[in-house]
Structure 1
Amino acid sequence: MDERTSSFLQSNHSTIMVTLRKDGTPHVARVGVGLVDGKLQSSGTRTRLRTSHLRRDSRATLCVLANDNPWAWMGAECRVTIHDGSDAADRNLALYRVLAGEPEDLDEYMQAMRDEQRLIYEFDIQKTYGPF
């Protein structure tokens, strides 16, 4: 990931994620993204539509919106890896810390991650574009 992309992603988290349905039509969801150890990630659950779409076709396109300029955005064409193993709650905690700091109650947070069957989407950016 180049410095320009990394810098933009460190400061901007509000994102539109596009996955593909079986029939090839786009499915759009608003998500938050963050860089964890240099890797772009977002949180989801096992039951989200975007998860089932990505299990079938790992392609996704992101539109990351700038916080301070309504005309600045970054498009990113990606391949997505889903991390839903035994370390998924810990991965979600690492992402949460990037996006929001420490949870008020760590034990409660970790239990919620397990109860909600939270997982992590990791985006391998293939191409970026846009006025960012």
Structure 2
Amino acid sequence: MTLSDRDAEFLGSHHAAAMITVTSGGIAKTARVGVALVDGQLWSSGTRDRVRTQRLRQDPRCTVFVFSDSFSWLTLETTVTILEGPDAPALNLRLFRQMQGRPTGPLNWFGQELGEEQFLGRMVDEARLVYRFDVHRTYGMR
């Protein structure tokens, strides 16, 4: 599904979200995440050892709830593709540049300003990957 202009506009300026996955026993589990549109697709970052990554490997269905401080929100019903491998650090660089609105220069990482090489090194050290959300349906109050 292609995002509507209205959905894309909302996602372009709102990066706070909750990612809802489901356990093998059917229990919904929620984690707060950051999201951003990269080349028109919704992405988020995670690590290989996160529990939500393991759940998504078993069942790639996921709901993403994106919200603002003013009570506007957007829900996206999705299927997740996990982007990992040698290009994952560079993919995370693209994602965080978009989320932070910094096309060049240092990026903020847990309160530190990191140059690009430092940032890429940190992505490798943390075994970071990218969740790409293939959107099936959206609804909300935006």
TM-score by length of 1: 0.95
**Matched residues in 1 for 2:117 and 2:76: separation?**
35
Cα deviation 1:108-131 (Å, max 9, x = unaligned)? 111110010000000011101111
Runs of 4+ in 1 over 4 A off after TM superposition: none
**Matched residues in 1 for 2:85 and 2:6: separation?**
32
Q: Is 2:44 the counterpart of 1:34?
A: no
Following superposition, the deviation at residue 62 of structure 1 comes to: 0.8
**Matched residues in 2 for 1:129 and 1:109: separation?**
35
Following superposition, the deviation at residue 105 of structure 1 comes to: 1.3
- Structure 1 stretch 38-47 or stretch 101-110: which is displaced more? 101-110
Following superposition, the deviation at residue 19 of structure 1 comes to: 0.3
Structure 1 residue identity aligned to 2:135 = I
SS at 1:96 equivalent: helix
Following superposition, the deviation at residue 82 of structure 1 comes to: 0.1
SS at 1:130 equivalent: strand
SS at 1:24 equivalent: coil
**Matched residues in 2 for 1:97 and 1:123: separation?**
18
Cα deviation 1:40-73 (Å, max 9, x = unaligned)? 0000000001100000000000110024x1x211
TM-score by length of 2: 0.89
What RMSD over aligned residues (CA atoms) do the two structures have, in Å? 0.9
**Matched residues in 2 for 1:16 and 1:96: separation?**
17
The match for 2:121 among 111, 117, 121 is: 111
**Matched residues in 1 for 2:5 and 2:15: separation?**
16
- 1:128 aligned partner: 138
Cα deviation 1:1-51 (Å, max 9, x = unaligned)? 110110000010000110011101011000000001111000000000110
- 1:91 aligned partner: 91
Structure 1 segment 57-68 matched on structure 2, within 5 A: 57-67=59-69
SS at 2:17 equivalent: strand
Count of residues in Structure 1 that have an aligned counterpart in Structure 2: 130
**Matched residues in 2 for 1:74 and 1:105: separation?**
33
**Matched residues in 1 for 2:140 and 2:120: separation?**
37
Structure 1 residue identity aligned to 2:119 = Y
